[in-house]
């Protein structure tokens, strides 16, 4: 049994049981409304990222593990007149208030005693740290002249007012070879703009302090982020004077900004769409029964929202923002059903059965385009696909089963023949086609300039305040939050450390300590430590130790040093060297760096090196550049480039797949190549016009324009099917008025998205507004013009007779 027969029989069945149909429909809508009360929204960028496998997913996972990606970074800036002491005191007060449950660990400085712990660790570990180059540097510091100069400098410092501070250093390092090892520590400084004063992080000029905070609040949790930031604001009001500015940077602020913006946009967009569509209803209304054709999409949006919430939790707020689009997308079906039933030259069941084929085929073509999106790697695109599919199915069922029983048909209206209508629309078909060709040509030129952009920052809403704080942080401390990561992986720590050493040897001559953060200089592999230890012990033979002892004591006596002043050195040289381990580094106060640069993962261990995120450094890891094998370069810039490539790839796949499926469905419907081509005119025009205007005015294709392209294909072919059915088959129930109204409501739905300030919503609205505008005009004017050309009419006539 054909679908049209099923729909006609359903109409007859429910004709005397309308109460059952209306009750069932009302219950479904009511249950959907109730379920919406429990819907959980997600306004985070994660829904815009691939969640499958592959390079992009792996890169994003690593970027989320970068040292400062999940920390709260607080900068206190003293205005003119604020002393360094006042700034430090305020920093301590604020840091003292940052306590659980929201703030789990606060770092305002390296920690009391950290410097002494680090010196002790260097003393105990130097044998395992000393490379051949280091040993040569130490030899130069042990010459007679170098020892004499060192002891003379230390005597001068020890009798100075600051002598007590240097006394501790002298007893640990009387010979002065620690600078050789301190050079290694320079590779552990991720913030070159930081200096330490009174055990607090300060900027070089002393006008800014820094607090790093760990939190148990996930930056994707908008509600908890809101509570945490509100708590932080209350704390700053209590202890921070007006003369000190507090600036906070964290992923939580981005989440909250996007959450607030999306919620505001949802209210604006849905209100604008509802008002606009109702205005169209008032303008074109002929009977009150038409009101149902405009109210039905509201029920569709409710059902679709509840349906997608059953499949996905949480639901992306971008998906619900798409509800405005669905309002304009799904009212096409009730409008065409109403247009068919508004004439009474035949029984309603027959009129209804006649509208089913084009209506169902338009629904199938649109759904086919969205089905392809179900295979996307992006969660938000899959959600949009499910949301749209549920909405389209609900709209078709409500339009074909429920709506006919709500319409009170009017008196018989005179039929308008195809030639009469075509005469009015296309009195000069050749001129129409020529003008259309000129516009298409200009759009093709503009489309040649179209670019793809995968920068996720441009898909996030960022307030001016956040931009200001980011710039201040970057100017003061350097761009430490956006460093690139060079990652080596291995099944165990020692193998990973060996590979990390190889990476360090490759990068060191090219970057140096100012531009690179690496664990390699202070955590060598066990193999390297053993080699260093053997070299150290071979060098410090008993004869050499005795010779150095005599020289130091002789020079020391001349300058007033007692012999026991050098006792710590002899104990150190005679004590078996300690191996360097992760645990010993934690004791030395380097636990935070260890945790940020040595990462466990499912297959073993990852060791991270940080570098600036520049194209120059990225080029060092291109194929053929000579970088060590098994090294992965990860950066925001590279990630954006990969996303851009993924967007371009997805655009090509979805575009070609959707177009192929649509063409197959059109062939199945019309079974005539000319009719298929005529039906594709709105599709082609819509895609070309969208690409042309976006390319000409510099709007790039992003993640959400992929959705836009599918919508243009689905809606454009819908207009094409109705117009070709109207022109080629003489279906009097499908009129230009219905196409015009449906396209206007769709444009209003998408146009409402242009009021959104969130980039993702706005980009969908802009692209589809341009595309559907071109598709609607071409369906109403260009398709009839082509039909009016003699050879097209002749070909269609022959095809019909056949």
Which run of H or of E encompasses 257? helix 251-284
- For 542, residues 6+ apart whose C-beta sits below 8 A from its C-beta are none
Q: Which two tokens stand for residue 268?
A: 């604006």
pLDDT at 46 over 90: no
What pLDDT score does 476 carry?
Answer: 87
Alpha carbons 437 and 685: distance in angstroms, whole number = 10
Alpha carbons 763 and 769: distance in angstroms, whole number = 10
What pLDDT score does 227 carry?
Answer: 92
Lowest mean pLDDT among 242-251, 276-285, 402-411, 683-692: 402-411
What pLDDT score does 507 carry?
Answer: 92
Per-residue pLDDT of 82-136, as tens digits, reads 999 999 999 999 999 999 889 998 988 876 556 777 777 887 888 999 999 998 8
Tell me the average pLDDT across 589-616: 87
- Class of residue 371 by CB neighbours under 10 A (exposed 0-12, middle 13-18, buried 19+): middle
pLDDT at 425 over 60: no
Cβ pair 629, 498 in contact under 8 A: no
Q: How far is CA 215 from CA 211, 219, 473, 483, 593, in A?
A: 13, 9, 20, 21, 17
Q: Could you report how far apart the first and last alpha carbons of the chain are, in Å?
A: 25
Hey, is 219 helix, strand or coil?
A: coil
Tell me the average pLDDT across 614-642: 86
Q: How far is CA 705 from CA 510, 755, 769, in A?
A: 41, 17, 11
Alpha carbons 386 and 374: distance in angstroms, whole number = 7
Query: Tokens 């500015």, residue?
Result: 245
Tell me the average pLDDT across 596-615: 88
pLDDT at 509 over 70: yes
What pLDDT score does 51 carry?
Answer: 65
Give the pLDDT band (50/70/90) at residue 171.
low
**CA nearest to 41, candidates 450, 288, 323:** 323
**Peptide bond preceding 314 in cis form (omega within 30 of 0):** yes
Helix 323-330 to helix 290-311 angle (10° resolution) is 140
Based on C-alpha coordinates, what's the Rg of the chain?
36
Tell me the average pLDDT across 195-203: 85
φ, ψ (nearest 5 deg) of residue 452: -105, 140
CA 294 to chain centre: 36
Alpha carbons 265 and 318: distance in angstroms, whole number = 10
pLDDT at 517 over 80: yes
The contacts found for 385-388 with CB under 8 angstroms, 24 or more apart, are 386/307, 386/308, 386/311, 386/312, 387/304, 387/305, 387/307, 387/308, 387/319, 387/322, 387/326, 388/304, 388/322, 388/326, 388/329
- Class of residue 26 by CB neighbours under 10 A (exposed 0-12, middle 13-18, buried 19+): exposed
What pLDDT score does 344 carry?
Answer: 62
What pLDDT score does 69 carry?
Answer: 74
Q: Which of the listed ranges 74-88, 345-359, 714-728, 741-755 does the model predict with the highest average pLDDT?
A: 74-88
Alpha carbons 130 and 522: distance in angstroms, whole number = 10
Hey, is 611 helix, strand or coil?
A: strand
pLDDT at 732 over 80: no
Cβ pair 107, 211 in contact under 8 A: yes
What pLDDT score does 287 carry?
Answer: 65
Give the pLDDT band (50/70/90) at residue 802.
very low
Per-residue pLDDT of 251-301, as tens digits, reads 888 888 887 888 888 788 878 887 887 888 777 766 666 677 777 888 888
- Class of residue 534 by CB neighbours under 10 A (exposed 0-12, middle 13-18, buried 19+): exposed
What pLDDT score does 53 carry?
Answer: 52
What pLDDT score does 367 carry?
Answer: 85
Q: Calculate the average pLDDT of the chain.
A: 81
Tell me the average pLDDT across 752-767: 81
Tell me the average pLDDT across 706-732: 74
Q: Which two tokens stand for residue 307?
A: 């349906």
Alpha carbons 462 and 456: distance in angstroms, whole number = 11
pLDDT at 304 over 80: yes
What pLDDT score does 384 carry?
Answer: 85
Alpha carbons 783 and 734: distance in angstroms, whole number = 15
pLDDT at 566 over 90: no
What pLDDT score does 77 carry?
Answer: 94
Alpha carbons 488 and 606: distance in angstroms, whole number = 6
pLDDT at 579 over 50: yes
pLDDT at 605 over 70: yes
What pLDDT score does 95 carry?
Answer: 92
Percentage of residues in the chain with pLDDT exceeding 90? 17
Tell me the average pLDDT across 197-213: 89
Q: Which two tokens stand for residue 514?
A: 């100012």
DSSP code at position 400: I
Which run of H or of E encompasses 654? helix 636-670
**Which tops the pLDDT comparison, 31 or 743?**
31
**Which tops the pLDDT comparison, 734 or 490?**
490
Alpha carbons 461 and 266: distance in angstroms, whole number = 14
pLDDT at 410 over 60: no
Alpha carbons 463 and 547: distance in angstroms, whole number = 68
pTM value is: 0.74
Hey, is 289 helix, strand or coil?
A: coil
What pLDDT score does 1 carry?
Answer: 54
Q: Which of the listed ranges 94-108, 661-675, 688-702 does the model predict with the highest average pLDDT?
A: 94-108
Give the pLDDT band (50/70/90) at residue 2.
confident
Tell me the average pLDDT across 362-373: 82
**Which tops the pLDDT comparison, 501 or 759?**
501
Alpha carbons 685 and 680: distance in angstroms, whole number = 8
Tell me the average pLDDT across 341-369: 78
**CA nearest to 127, candidates 485, 536, 439:** 536
**Which tops the pLDDT comparison, 495 or 367?**
495
pLDDT at 61 over 80: no
What pLDDT score does 589 carry?
Answer: 82
Tell me the average pLDDT across 354-365: 82
Query: Tokens 């071409």, residue?
Result: 778
What pLDDT score does 413 carry?
Answer: 42
Q: Which two tokens stand for residue 667?
A: 């062939």
Give the pLDDT band (50/70/90) at residue 196.
confident
**Which tops the pLDDT comparison, 140 or 40?**
140
Tell me the average pLDDT across 512-517: 82
Domains observed in the chain = 3-45+256-458+639-801 (1.20.1640.10), 72-109+199-249 (3.30.70.1440), 114-194+484-634 (no CATH)
What pLDDT score does 418 carry?
Answer: 38
Alpha carbons 589 and 598: distance in angstroms, whole number = 15
Q: Which two tokens stand for residue 608?
A: 């991270």
Percentage of residues in the chain with pLDDT exceeding 70? 88
Number of Cβ atoms within 10 Å of the Cβ of 760: 29
């Amino acid at each position: 049994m054909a679908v049209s027969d099923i729909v006609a029989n359903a109409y007859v069945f429910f004709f005397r049981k309308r109460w059952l149909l209306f009750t069932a429909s009302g219950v479904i809508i009511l249950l959907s409304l109730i379920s919406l009360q429990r819907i959980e929204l997600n306004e985070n960028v994660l829904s815009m990222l691939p969640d499958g496998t592959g390079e992009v997913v792996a890169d994003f996972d690593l970027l989320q593990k970068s040292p400062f990606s999940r920390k709260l970074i607080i900068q206190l800036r003293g205005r003119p007149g604020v002393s360094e002491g006042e700034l430090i005191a305020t920093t301590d007060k604020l840091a003292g208030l940052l306590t659980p449950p929201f703030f789990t660990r606060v770092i305002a400085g390296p920690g009391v005693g950290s410097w002494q712990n680090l010196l002790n660790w260097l003393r105990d570990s130097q044998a395992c740290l000393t490379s051949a180059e280091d040993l040569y540097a130490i030899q130069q510091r042990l010459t007679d002249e170098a020892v004499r100069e060192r002891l003379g400098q230390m005597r001068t410092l020890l009798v100075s007012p600051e002598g007590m501070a240097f006394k501790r250093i002298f007893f640990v390092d009387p010979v002065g070879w620690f600078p050789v090892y301190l050079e290694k520590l320079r590779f552990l400084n991720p913030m070159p703009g930081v200096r330490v004063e009174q055990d607090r992080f300060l900027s070089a000029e002393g006008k800014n302090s820094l607090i790093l905070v760990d939190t148990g609040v996930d930056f994707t949790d908008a509600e908890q982020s809101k509570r945490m930031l509100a708590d932080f604001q209350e704390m700053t009001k209590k202890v921070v004077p007006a003369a000190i500015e507090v600036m906070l940077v964290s992923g939580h602020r981005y989440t909250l900004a996007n959450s607030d913006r999306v919620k505001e946009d949802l209210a604006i967009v849905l209100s604008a769409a509802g008002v606009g569509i109702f205005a169209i209803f008032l303008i074109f209304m002929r009977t009150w029964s038409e009101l149902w054709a405009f109210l039905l999409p509201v029920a569709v949006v409710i059902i679709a929202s509840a349906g997608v919430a059953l499949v996905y939790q949480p639901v992306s707020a971008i998906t619900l923002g798409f509800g405005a689009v669905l309002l304009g997308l799904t009212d096409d079906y009730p409008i065409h059903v109403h247009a068919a039933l508004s004439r009474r030259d035949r029984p309603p069941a027959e009129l209804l059965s006649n509208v089913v084929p084009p209506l169902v085929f338009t629904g199938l073509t649109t759904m086919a385009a969205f089905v392809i999106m179900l295979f996307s790697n992006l969660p938000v695109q899959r959600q949009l696909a499910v949301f749209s599919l549920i909405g389209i199915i609900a709209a078709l069922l409500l339009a074909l089963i429920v709506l006919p029983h709500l319409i009170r048909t009017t008196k018989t209206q005179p039929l308008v023949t195809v030639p009469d209508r075509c005469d009015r629309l296309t009195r000069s078909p050749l001129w129409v086609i020529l003008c259309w060709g000129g516009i298409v040509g200009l759009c093709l030129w503009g489309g040649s300039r179209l670019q793809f952009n995968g920068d996720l920052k441009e898909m996030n809403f960022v307030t001016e305040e956040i931009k200001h704080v980011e710039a201040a942080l970057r100017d003061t401390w350097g761009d430490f939050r956006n460093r690139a990561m060079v990652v080596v992986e291995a099944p165990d720590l020692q193998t990973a450390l060996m590979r990390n050493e190889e990476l360090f040897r490759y990068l060191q001559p090219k970057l140096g300590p100012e531009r690179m953060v690496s664990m390699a200089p202070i955590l060598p592999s066990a193999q390297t430590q053993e080699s260093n230890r053997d070299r150290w012990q071979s060098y410090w033979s008993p004869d050499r130790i005795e010779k150095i002892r005599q020289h130091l004591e002789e020079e020391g006596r001349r300058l007033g040093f007692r012999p026991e002043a050098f006792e710590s050195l002899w104990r150190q040289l005679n004590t078996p060297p300690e191996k360097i381990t992760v645990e010993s580094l934690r004791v030395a106060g380097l636990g935070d760096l260890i945790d940020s640069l040595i990462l466990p993962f499912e297959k073993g261990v990852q060791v991270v090196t940080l570098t600036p995120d520049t194209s120059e450094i990225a080029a060092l890891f291109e194929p053929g550049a000579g970088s060590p094998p098994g090294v992965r370069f990860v950066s925001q810039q590279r990630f954006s480039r990969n996303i851009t490539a993924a967007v371009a790839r997805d655009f090509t796949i979805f575009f070609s797949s959707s177009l192929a499926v649509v063409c197959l469905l059109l062939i199945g419907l019309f079974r005539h190549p000319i009719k298929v081509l005529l039906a594709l005119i709105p599709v082609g025009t819509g895609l070309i016009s969208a690409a042309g205007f976006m390319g000409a005015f510099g709007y790039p294709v992003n993640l959400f324009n992929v959705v836009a392209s599918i919508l243009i294909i689905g809606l454009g072919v819908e207009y094409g099917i109705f117009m070709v059915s109207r022109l080629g088959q003489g279906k009097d129930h499908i009129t230009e008025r219905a196409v015009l109204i449906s396209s206007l409501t769709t444009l209003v739905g998408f146009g409402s998205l242009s009021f959104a300030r969130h980039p993702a919503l706005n980009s969908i609205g802009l692209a589809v507004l341009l595309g559907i505008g071109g598709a609607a005009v071409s369906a109403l004017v260009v398709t009839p013009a082509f039909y009016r050309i003699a050879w097209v009419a002749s070909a269609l006539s022959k095809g019909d007779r056949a």
